[in-house]
Structure 1
Amino acid sequence: MTPQKRARVCADLMWANDRASQALGMRITAIAPGSATLSMPVRDDMLNGHGMCHGGMIFALADSAFAFACNTYNVLTVAQSNQITYLAPGVANDTLTATATEVARLGRSGTYDVVVTNADGDKIALFRGQSRTIKGQHFDEDTA
């Protein structure tokens, strides 16, 4: 199985059970070994008391992109730590995009950067996540 096909199968299996990302309207727009791009429309129910999409909603998108990127190798991977810097809010009816890219992967640990942009391509958040593999696989490659 090619690395690209493996990444797609892993993403499809994760997506089938990721009800939170689905409920938020996220879509996987690109997937490859060590990277993932997800988009999410900003709905009125995602706006805070200031009328902005900030904090948790943006974090959820960045964290989901991170999760899909670090789970592209058919090994179960979880977040070990992460941090986010918010640069600007999202606004109603905008579509936000989170692009996760593998920075380093060695043994059971990985580092991934995620850039969240608005529909104009402006950066609104920067996220860095550390991953850790655990026992198990997304699917049995011998029977796939």
Structure 2
Amino acid sequence: MVTVTDSRELARACADAMWSTDQASKGLGMALESVEPGRAVLSMTVRDVMVNGHGICHGGFIATLADSTFAFSCNTHNVVTVASGFEIDFLESAHLGDELRAEGREVVLRGRSGIYDVTVRRGETVIAVFRGRSRSLGRPILEETS
């Protein structure tokens, strides 16, 4: 049983449960920096295996960072929630060694559907914007809370 006293603790407990089995995000070297209801921040350093034939970070890795941030943002209410789709716009390139930071936030949550925005930055420079659409599956992330 997980004991939570407020929505911030619930968000953190949900994130901890997800993070414990998230081999994809951890395998890419992502770090879960913060989480609160409807919000999450993840970071990732661009490694040599992420650089494409143009010498820049492959867009798929940037999209994956944004998607992971989206996942942690939309799973803060103790309901298993998945992506129903997303779109991403790349504004700047990222390069080997760059530290990327993605900030996700809930825009709207109606019934089982939600919209989340994620901004990916390199320092102060916005390099990508992502909009994700979520759908809850109606079952809890944490089996029992009190």
4+ long deviations beyond 3 Å: none
Q: Choose the corresponding residue for 1:125, options 124, 128, 139.
A: 128
Where does the alignment leave 5 or more consecutive residues of structure 2 unmatched? none
Which string of whole-angstrom CA distances, capped at 9 and with x for unpartnered residues, describes residues 56-76 of structure 1?
Answer: 000000000000000000000
Percent identity of equivalent pairs: 49
Cα drift, residue 45 of structure 1: 0.9
Q: How far apart, in 1, do the equivalents of 2:49 and 2:40 lie?
A: 26
Q: 2:13 aligns with which of 6, 9, 12?
A: 9
Q: After alignment, is 20-29 or 132-141 more displaced?
A: 132-141
* Backbone CA RMSD of aligned residues: 0.9
| Alpha-carbon distance in structure 2 between the residues aligned to 1:122 and 1:2 | 34
The number of residue pairs the alignment matches comes to 142
Give 1:140 shift.
Answer: 2.5
Q: How does 1:51-90 map to 2 (within 5 A)?
A: 51-90=55-94
Q: 1:92 aligns with which of 92, 96, 103?
A: 96
* Unaligned residue ranges in structure 1 (runs of 5+): none
Letter in 2 for 1:116: V
In structure 2, how many angstroms separate the alpha carbons of the residues matched to 1:32 and 1:100?
A: 10
- 1:57-98 CA-to-partner distances (Å, cap 9, x unmatched) read 000000000000000000000001100000111111111011
